């Protein structure tokens, strides 16, 4: 019988994507035969989840939970909108949200390691799609939220002053207008530098004198900041009024916000359906 080493367990784990204990058990049962262990794992139910681990989960749901003094928002992903409507998937998303809401931090990895991972793998078995908990946001204090009816866009706002109606208006505005920062002062220097380089290159092609080019660039930067800053945007319910004026009217201030849109930033896999069907028939 070949001794099962840590290196063998590591190799099997990397080749299958399964847990360390499952890999160790499979190697012990096959007396260290790596290929046989893989075959056995392929036959087991656990391997189904591992085989799908590389598939892109870019659909799913946003979950939001709030109380009088705190709020949390979580994005839980699956592969298709069909699975996102499955009762088992929705229940999993709700359980994740509830667990993070009650925890003292937003340690998603720690939550999964504490037992939620087994629940996730069981869900993968049941619905036949890869699932993941992608990200979460939480604020303490005065919060407001908005969740789009399809559950694909969610907003959580942390603010001071005003009332519940103002909070709802702010959250709905953020969902619609998609600002990147609260105010121009919050824009990162690296982001501005990148935009400035782009605008400089564009303006240089105009053939105008350097001093004119510099003014053109700064004008575009000012416009860019107005577009991405919440306070500088026109209020969606009254485009004659800026958000900054709305806040002043209510003696309020936005401290921070998070806007999640399901799958944003994930490079979705382009699937040739005909080719996929043909491959399954071979």
Burial of 115 (0-12, 13-18, 19+ CB in 10 A): exposed
> What are 129's two structure tokens?
């799609």
Q: How far apart are CA 136 and CA 78, in angstroms?
A: 16
**Residue 266 has what pLDDT?**
78
Report d(CA 215, CA 203) in Å as an integer.
10
The confidence score (pLDDT) of residue 268 equals: 63
Burial class (CB in 10 A: 0-12, 13-18, 19+), 19: middle
Per-residue confidence (pLDDT) for residue 282, from 0 to 100: 46
Q: What domains appear along the chain, each with residue ranges and CATH number?
A: 6-51 (1.10.8.10), 59-141 (3.30.479.20)
pLDDT at 235: 97
Instruction: Output the CA–CA distances (angstroms, integers) from residue 224 to 127, 140, 171, 187, in the order listed.
Output: 44, 30, 22, 10
Residue closest to 92 by CA, chosen among 125, 55, 52: 125
Burial of 186 (C-beta count, 10 Å sphere; 0-12/13-18/19+) = middle
Q: What is the three-class DSSP state of 80? A: coil
How far CA 221 is from CA of 120, 184, 188, 214, 230, in Å, comes to 45, 10, 13, 11, 16
Q: In order along the chain (282 residues), what is the average pLDDT of each group of 10 residues?
A: 79 76 89 83 59 70 94 95 95 96 88 90 90 94 94 97 96 96 92 84 80 87 92 96 97 98 76 50 46
In the 8-state DSSP scheme, what is residue 184? G
CB hemisphere CA count around 35 (13 angstroms): 0
Residue with tokens 């160790």: 24
DSSP element (H, E) containing 78: strand 70-78
Instruction: State how far the Cα of 241 lies from the Cα of 9, in Å rounded to an integer.
Output: 62
Q: How many CA atoms lie within 13 A of 217 on its CB side?
A: 21
How many Å from the N-terminal Cα to the C-terminal Cα in the chain?
Answer: 37
Structure confidence at residue 36 (pLDDT)? 84
Residue 190's contacts (CB-CB under 8 Å, 6 or more residues apart) are none
Entry field: residues in the chain: 282
**Whole-number pLDDT of residue 190:** 87
pTM listed for this prediction: 0.74
Please check whether residue 59 is in contact with residue 79, taking contact to mean a CB–CB distance below 8 angstroms: yes
Are 65 and 136 in contact by the 8 Å Cβ rule? The answer is no
In whole angstroms, how far apart are CA 183 and each of 20, 193, 233?
A: 47, 17, 10
Q: What is the pLDDT of residue 50?
A: 52
Q: What is the pLDDT of residue 55?
A: 65
């Amino acid at each position: 019988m070949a001794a099962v080493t840590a290196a063998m367990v590591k190799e099997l784990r990397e080749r299958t994507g399964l847990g360390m204990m499952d890999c160790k058990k499979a190697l012990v049962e096959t007396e260290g035969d790596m290929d046989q262990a893989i075959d056995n794992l392929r036959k087991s139910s656990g391997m189904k989840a591992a085989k799908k681990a590389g598939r892109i989960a870019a659909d799913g749901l946003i979950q939001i939970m709030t109380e009088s003094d705190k709020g949390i928002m979580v994005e839980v992903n699956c592969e298709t909108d069909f699975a996102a409507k499955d009762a088992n998937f929705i229940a999993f998303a709700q359980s994740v949200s509830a667990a993070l809401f009650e925890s003292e931090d937003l340690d998603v990895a720690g939550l999964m390691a504490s037992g939620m991972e087994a629940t996730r793998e069981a869900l993968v078995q049941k619905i036949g799609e890869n699932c993941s908990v992608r990200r979460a946001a939480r604020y303490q204090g005065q919060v407001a939220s908005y969740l789009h009816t399809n559950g694909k866009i969610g907003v959580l706002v942390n603010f001071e002053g005003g009332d519940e109606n103002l909070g709802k208006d702010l959250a709905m505005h953020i969902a619609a207008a998609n600002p990147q920062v609260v105010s121009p002062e919050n824009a990162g220097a690296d982001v501005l530098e990148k935009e400035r380089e782009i605008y400089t290159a564009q303006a240089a092609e105009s053939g105008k004198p350097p001093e004119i080019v510099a003014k053109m660039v700064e004008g575009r930067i000012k416009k860019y900041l107005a577009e991405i800053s919440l306070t500088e945007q026109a209020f969606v319910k009254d485009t004659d009024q800026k958000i900054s004026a709305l806040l002043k009217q209510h003696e309020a201030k936005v401290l921070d916000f998070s806007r999640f849109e399901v799958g944003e930033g994930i490079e979705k896999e382009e699937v040739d359906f005909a080719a996929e069907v043909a491959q399954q028939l071979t």
